[in-house]
Amino acid sequence: MNMLTFPDTYVEILPEVRDFLAGKHQLYIGGRWQSALSGATFETIDPSTGRLLAHIASAQAEDVDVAVRAARATFDSGAWHLKLTPSERGKLIWKLADLIEEHAPILAQLDALDNGKPVTKARNVDVPLSAEHFRYYAGWTTKIEGATIPVNTQGMFNYTLREPVGVCGLIVPWNYPLLMAAWKIAPALAAGNCIILKPAEQTPLSALYLARLFEEAGFPPGVFNVLTGFGETAGAALVAHPGINKVGFTGSVGVAKTILRNSADTLKRVSLELGGKSPNIIFADADLEQAVVGATWAIFGNNGQSCTAGSRLYIQRNIYDRVLTGMSDQAAKIRVGMGMQIDQPDLGPVVSQEQLETVMGFIEAGYNHGGKSVIGGKRVGGALAQGYFIEPTIFVDVQDHMKIAREEIFGPVVCAMPFDDADEVLRRANETPYGLAAGLWTRDLQTAHRFAAQMQAGTIWVNTWGDTDAASPFGGYKQSGHGREMGKEAIDLYTEVKSVWIKTG
Ligand code: NAI
Ligand code: MG
């Protein structure tokens, strides 16, 4: 029996969560739970305390092979995409959404423990958005259509069929564990695919719990499989396996490049949702009160561990000091604390020791290259010294070419830089290899539309930041990725189009 103890400042851990944590954490393959063939496991820990949460099965290449065979067998049997009607599939996906909602307090605690985020944020944001995502795609099962095409040959009927790609390997990160999985699973399911999910090694718990909900909903075995394990082993084996038709990935640019290389031999379909260094521009004519709060949360939301974090902040020179003072005041009020503590904080720790070191390394580079922090810049000690806590940090005296202004930090660190006019800031904003998101704050309609058209990013926010919706496409320009998730665009990622010619004359 796993005798887990938690700090007495924690909210009560739900009995279901305690039971789940104390149980065995195996791979979920073909509707059955099994240990890794090698018996290997890894530890997942609570980043708020650095303490062990659970031992998790660590899938190796041979386990990947078993899972791919199981998913392929289910796909080839047609148990999901052929033997059920579209409406029946939609109902099952909807039922899964209902179950996610029903189990929301449990899922929220699992993500809060595993990732460190405040449990109220997991409960109010991550989990309901995940359920909503499944509902949106439940509606798509009955709407995936082909077309009839007026071809230029007499006596010929041409039409298209839209078919599932087959078996999809979905590799997701740790920043929104359940939600990032939902973004990929829901459209893949709606399109009739079978799935192997590989959650991040830092946050495997909610994916394993989700497998239980698939079982409870009554999905045919083999439609949804979970392989926990490391990227370099389980993830890489999925990418290379000839039985996988498509890889959907969210994570770092470096790993995305490795995935493209490793998928070349089998010419897999690959979609990539990667990071960014998103420019957030505040013009002097903006509603400054709104802009100050918006820009603060654009970076510090989810502790900067968002692919869309507004990490390059451009402020028009004549309001630069005013905005910085406002943001420093806001940042000073942010309460950092343990994700599960009774007195809920605004921000938790970063996800791991590794991430802590990465972010602190960026902060150090910022100082070494001549930057100054107006607030933050240190690891948090005292009662939080065992966890991976970093103060919300605002850097000034930053030049565009500096490392902290160019590379994704993925932590609570923003670079504030002044600008003089619109042409200049547009050029500077676009001078980046990334293109995931960009935003601006202005009351001027022309500026808003001009920047919306000319900023090179997949998402533009005007007088707001961070909004997403299952119905609205999301993805990157340039090195921020390939393809668009969400909306009807995600159906394209998970279907093949077949053109059929029938001689009628
Ligand atoms: P990562 O890209 O290594 O991990 C993301 C997922 O890819 C995980 O499930 C991991 O196991 C898997 N993976 C790793 N190597 C793989 C390989 N060779 N083949 C197949 N799958 C593999 O990201 P990591 O190391 O957790 O974080 C590093 C940086 O990546 C962060 O500091 C941040 O800049 C960026 N990142 C961006 C995210 C986003 O939302 N776009 C999410 C997570 C990280
Ligand atoms: Mg990595």
> pLDDT 10s per residue in the chain (505 long)?
456 889 999 999 999 999 999 999 999 999 999 999 999 999 999 999 999 999 999 999 999 999 999 999 999 999 999 999 999 999 999 999 999 999 999 999 999 999 999 999 999 999 999 999 999 999 999 999 999 999 999 999 999 999 999 999 999 999 999 999 999 999 999 999 999 999 999 999 999 999 999 999 999 999 999 999 999 999 999 999 999 999 999 999 999 999 999 999 999 999 999 999 999 999 999 999 999 999 999 999 999 999 999 999 999 999 999 999 999 999 999 999 999 999 999 999 999 999 999 999 999 999 999 999 999 999 999 999 999 999 999 999 999 999 999 999 999 999 999 999 999 999 999 999 999 999 999 999 999 999 999 999 999 999 999 999 999 999 999 999 999 999 999 999 999 999 999 999 8
Cα 18 to ligand 2 centroid, rounded to whole Å: 29
Give the separation between CA 214 and CA 212, rounded to whole angstroms: 5
In 201-218, which positions are buried (b, 16+ CB within 10 angstroms) versus exposed (e)? bbbbbbbbbbbebbeebe
Which class for 331: exposed (0-12), middle (13-18), buried (19 or more C-beta within 10 A)? buried
Enter the tokens of residue 281.
Answer: 């521009």
Domain annotation for the chain: domains and CATH numbers: 15-274+482-499 (3.40.605.10), 279-469 (3.40.309.10)
pLDDT reported for residue 4: 86
Q: Is 456 in the pocket of ligand 1 (CB under 6 A)?
A: no
Q: Is residue 16 among the annotated active site residues? A: no
Q: How far apart are the first and last CA of the chain?
A: 73
* From 168, 307, 408, 415, the catalytic residue: 307
Q: At residue 7, what is the residue type?
A: P
Q: Outline where 44-175 has alpha helix (H).
A: 61-77, 86-102, 104-115, 119-121, 127-138
Q: Which residue has the tokens 């709104």?
A: 290
CA dihedral 277, 278, 284, 288 (to 10 degrees): -110
Cα 124 to ligand 2 centroid, rounded to whole Å: 28
* From 273, 391, 408, 485, the catalytic residue: 273
Angle (CA) 129-131-137 rounded to 5° is: 100
pLDDT reported for residue 1: 43
Q: Which ligand is nearest to the CA of 202?
A: 1
Cα 168 to ligand 1 centroid, rounded to whole Å: 18
Closest of 16, 238, 214 to residue 106, by C-alpha: 16
For ligand 1, atom 40: residue with the closest CA: 307
Q: Which ligand is nearest to the CA of 254?
A: 1
Could you identify the atom of ligand 1 that is nearest to the CA of residue 180? 40
Give the separation between CA 375 and CA 390, rounded to whole angstroms: 12
**Residue 420 zone, left/alpha/beta (φ > 0; ψ -120 to 50; rest):** alpha
Q: Is the dihedral of CA 25, 30, 35, 39 positive or negative?
A: negative
If DSSP codes are grouped into helix, strand and coil, which group holds residue 280?
A: strand
